[in-house]
Structures are given as structure tokens and as C-alpha cells.
A and B are shown apart, each in its own frame.
Chain A
Amino acid sequence: MKISKKVAIYLVLIIASIFFLFPIYMLVVTSMKSLQEVNTTSSWSIPIHFDFSGFVTAWNGISQGFANSFEFTIPALILSVFLGSIGGFALTKVKFKGANTVFLFLLFGMFLPYQVVLIPLVKFMAALGLYGNIWSLIITHTAYGIPITTLIFRNFYSSIPTSLLEAGQVDGANTLQIYGRIILPLSIPGIVVAAIWQFTNIWNNFLFGLILGSMPNVRPVTVMLNNLNGAMMAQWNTLMAGALITAIPTLIVYLIAGKYFVKGLLGGAVKG
């Protein structure tokens, strides 16, 4: 490749990187400033005096949501990954009649505009007596996570040779034992991909939290951040601190395990 062409490619990629990173830069530097330092002349500059009072105020406003989000994200993640794993196993390793139809039946849920289920969802949770209970969010995120986790595990198990199972059967192992002894240990990469995808999705969700989180004891951090945005007009250091606190868990997961995050993203997108 010609040097000039190479330079042009790098230049464009660097400009694109600036576009994608400058909001994150604004987020981080503003969160560590005092309110006096947040003004037109210095909004782009790094803090002269580091001031973490924004974090203190923001944390007071959203810490309960931060705890709530963990409280429903982790169980919903575990349940949806587990259901996706056993479902994906059934769909790939046992050729039962209509397996393909069942798969499409589940897959359709991936493209669901959530608006079409919101009203009955609230009525359903109220009828079960779960409205305002953390289980309403656990169950909801589990249910709408099933299509993607099933898809991820179905694609994953398709690549495990069936001969491995036959070996297990010769040994006289039943299906449960085959799943537990042979499939599950081989599933670790699939579990990591599905778990990271579900963690990010559930943590970042806003809509379900908005309609099911009317009580502060179950309200997710995303909804609390939005409320903080309404209450702290123009307190940009506090708002950016709140936004950073809300983003930290998924950002850490992304920076550590970005490779698996992309697999989840494409697992749900490329191979239908």
C-alpha cells in the first residue's frame, strides 16, 4: 500500500475515533470539576482543581438504584443464560419434530418492539402481586432475554460434534448426565458470551425499569439517573458523575471482555 494512502486511512480513523471518544472525554473531565469550573471557556479543558463533590451528590441520588440494578441484573442473567443453555441443547442435540418451528417461535421475540407488551406486562405483574417487587424485574428481564440466549447457545452447540454425546450414551449416561457432564463443561465460552451480553443489556435497560420501577426500592440506576437529570438541571458535574457511575459496571465489562461482547452482538445479528 502506498504511504500516502496509509496516512489517509489512519487520519480518517483518528478523526472517527475523536468523534466516538469526545463525549466520553466530556463525561470524565466534567465529572471531576467543581461547578464553577464548568463554563464556556473551560468546558473542554481538563480539571485545574480536581473536585469530587459531584460524585458525592450523584451517589446520594442514585446509590439505591445502583444496588437495585445489581439485585435484579444478576439473577435475571443467571436464569436467562440457564434457560438459553438447556433450550439450545434441546434444539441442537435432539432432533425432535418441529425443533425448527420452536426455534423460530422463540427467535421472533428478539425483534419484538417492547411497546406491544408494556401494558399487559404491568397488568400481569400487578395480578401476580409482584408490582413493586424486585421479582417483577427479574422475571421480565429473564423472559425477554430467552430469545437471544437460546440463539447464542443454539449456534454454540451446533459446533460441538454430536459424536461426543454418542460416546456418553454408550457409557449409559442419561440426557441429564450428558448435559451436566459433557455439555456444560464445554459450554464455558458460550456462557461467558451470553452472560456478558445479558449483563450489558439488562443493566442498560431503561424502558422496563421505567414502567415497573415506580417504587424506589426496585427502581433501576438508569431510571434514577434520568430522574437526577430532571432534578439537577445544569449541575453538569453532578450529572456527569451520575452518568459515569451508571456506566462504570458495563464499561469495565466491555474493556475487560470486549471480545466476548462482540460475539454476543454478532451472535444475535449475523447468524439467524
Chain B
Amino acid sequence: MRKRTLVSIAFIVPSVIIVGIFVYAFIAWTLAASFTNWNTLLPNWSFAGLKNYIYLFTQDMRFHMDLVNNFIFLPFFVLGTMILGFFLATLLNSGIKFEAFFRTVFLLPMAISLVVSGVIWIWIYDPTNGALASLFQIFHLPAVNWLGSMTYALPAIIIATVWQYTGFTTSIYLAGLRGIPQEVIEAARLDGAHGLRLYWNIIIPMVQSSTVTAFVLMVQLSLQMFDIVWVMTQGGPAFATDMPAVYMFIAGFKQNFVARGAAIAIIIFALTLVVVIPYLFTAGKITEEEA
């Protein structure tokens, strides 16, 4: 029995060591670097205290814009994907034909790279020949340079990301809806719950775990949103679509502001923990109950 345990522990040790280095040790490294003066080409581990954080929060206009953009992006993206996802999942779950076909179509964007999506959406938004410009011309509306506009660039990116991720939330909600026993819904109907009341009182509370999962995942994705922004606008025009993750990449890899890049990364990480820690805590509880 003991030998069996030893071999099994050997099975898990490689993963623990690798994750220990690539996740935990690297986080510690970034945290340490964020407290240094390493805003130079050559490594400089001299202690700077909170200097980088204070600079970001009190003086750095770019970082202020990043936070504002990120907190505009976040509710539209999270609510957009969740509401659309719940709505589409409800329709898919209403006993229709071709359900598998529609499901496959909605989830298709999840199978392709954000770089591919980004390039396609740049083409759709192209002010001279793009799909939108073409529609606008039919209706004799003036051409708009969507991605070059301070007003429209961020909403344009939000639409592209909602397009990419709505299939994900739809799948999460569909799994949740299928988990509701049919008897529960029948019983509620017999008690006189119909239409919106049936949803509000019975169905929405019963898919609560799907809601929590979708919420945590979508918030987490918002906070680290990088790929599609980098491909579509690189944060422009004039930082109108800049995000903390974009600035982190620029500071850490293009400008040799290693300590500042590390500080931005730690801020993104801390914001993520606010939603992830409670989630993992409840997930941990669930697994303990199962065990």
C-alpha cells in the first residue's frame, strides 16, 4: 500500500515542480521586481519600495486611461457575453430542431485564434472597402473610420470580443439549463409560474453556478485582455483602446521599464484574485464534499 502511494506521489511531483516554478516562483519574481529600480536596460535590483506603484497611480496618465478603458470594457463585455449567452442557451434548450447546428455555429469563433478574429474584424471595420462601410454606402450613410476613432474604437473592439466569447457563455448556460430536472419546471408551472416569473423565480436561481462560473471567467478575461487589442489597434488611437495588459507588454518588453511592467502585471494579478480567490474557495469546498 505504501509503495503504491509512493509511486502515485511520483506521478504528481513533476507537475507540482513545473507549476511551482512557472506559476508561483515567477509570480514571486515579478512581485520582487516591481519593488526595484529596474527601469533600465541592465538589471537593477536596488530596492525602490512602492515607487513604481505610486508613479502608476498618481502620475502616469497612460495607466489612468488604461484603467478607465478596462473598466468601460469590462461591464459591456461581461454583461454582453452573459446576457446573450443565457438568452441563446434558453432558445437552444426549448426543444427545437437543428439545435446541434446552431450550437456549432455559435461556438465557432472560440475555435479560432484571437489574431485571426482581430484581422477579420479590422477588415470588417475598414473605412473604405470593409463590410460595414459597404452597408453604410447602401444606406447613404457617411463612412466612419471605426478603429481610428476615439469614440468608436473601444466599442468596436468590445463587439469583436463579444462575438468571440458568447459561444463560451452559451455553452456554460446550456449545461446549466440541462441540469435542471424537468419535474421542477413542471411543478413550478402547476403552481402558476409562467413566462418571466418562471425565469426570475425558478430558472435563474437554478443556474446560479453557471452564472458564477461565466462571471469569473469573463471578468478574468477582461482584466488580461491583450491579443485582440494588440492586433486591432495596438491600444490606439491616442490610447483610446489601451489596456493595462498592453501597457505592461510595452513597458516590460519594448521600453525596458521592467519594474514598471512588473508593477502593472501585479496590479492585473491582484484585480484577478479579487474574483478568483472566492471562486477557488467555493470550488475547493465542493471537491472536499465530494471526497
CA distance A255 to B107 in the complex (A): 11
Find chain A residues with CB under 8 A from B214 CB: 269
Min CB distance A43 to B, Å, is 5
8 Å CB interface, B57-112 against A: 88, 91-92, 94-96, 102-112
Binary contact readout B9-28 vs A (1 if CB under 8 angstroms, 0 otherwise): 10110111011011101110
- The answer to the question of B242 belonging to the interface, with a C-beta cut-off of 8 Å to chain A, is no
**With A13-B91, A111-B220 in contact, do A20 and B163 touch (Cβ < 8 Å)?**
yes
8 Å CB interface, B12-62 against A: 12, 14-16, 18-19, 21-23, 25-27, 29-30, 33
* Contact A174 B27, beta carbon cutoff 8 Å: no
Min CB distance B271 to A, Å, is 8
The chain B residue sitting closest to A119, CB to CB, is B252
The B contact surface, by secondary structure, is helix
Interface segment, A47-55, A143-151, A185-193?
A143-151
- The answer to the question of A26 belonging to the interface, with a C-beta cut-off of 8 Å to chain B, is yes
Min CB distance B186 to A, Å, is 15
Find chain B residues with CB under 8 A from A20 CB: 105-106, 108-109, 163, 166-167
- The answer to the question of B287 belonging to the interface, with a C-beta cut-off of 8 Å to chain A, is yes
- The answer to the question of B153 belonging to the interface, with a C-beta cut-off of 8 Å to chain A, is no
Contact of B122 among A90, A229, A242 (CB under 8 A): A229
Number of interface residues, chain A, beta carbon within 8 A = 103
Binary contact readout A183-216 vs B (1 if CB under 8 angstroms, 0 otherwise): 0000000000000000010011111001100000
Min CB distance A211 to B, Å, is 6
- The answer to the question of B248 belonging to the interface, with a C-beta cut-off of 8 Å to chain A, is yes
- The answer to the question of A3 belonging to the interface, with a C-beta cut-off of 8 Å to chain B, is no
- The answer to the question of B262 belonging to the interface, with a C-beta cut-off of 8 Å to chain A, is yes
- The answer to the question of A152 belonging to the interface, with a C-beta cut-off of 8 Å to chain B, is no
- The answer to the question of A1 belonging to the interface, with a C-beta cut-off of 8 Å to chain B, is yes
Kindly name the residue among A118, A142, A207 whose own CB sees the greatest number of chain B CB atoms within 10 A: A118
* Contact A117 B115, beta carbon cutoff 8 Å: no
8 Å CB interface, A94-122 against B: 94, 96, 100, 102-109, 111-122
Interface segment, B129-137, B144-152, B196-204?
B129-137
Selected A-B contacts with CB under 8 Å, 16 pairs = A1-B94, A1-B95, A9-B91, A9-B96, A17-B105, A20-B167, A38-B129, A40-B129, A40-B134, A94-B5, A113-B245, A119-B265, A121-B22, A146-B18, A150-B15, A226-B115
Q: Apart from A207-B226, A258-B107, what are 20 other A-B pairs with CB-CB below 8 Å?
A: A9-B91, A20-B167, A23-B117, A41-B134, A44-B131, A87-B11, A94-B4, A107-B283, A109-B22, A113-B223, A119-B253, A120-B26, A239-B119, A250-B113, A254-B111, A261-B107, A269-B214, A270-B209, A270-B213, A272-B286
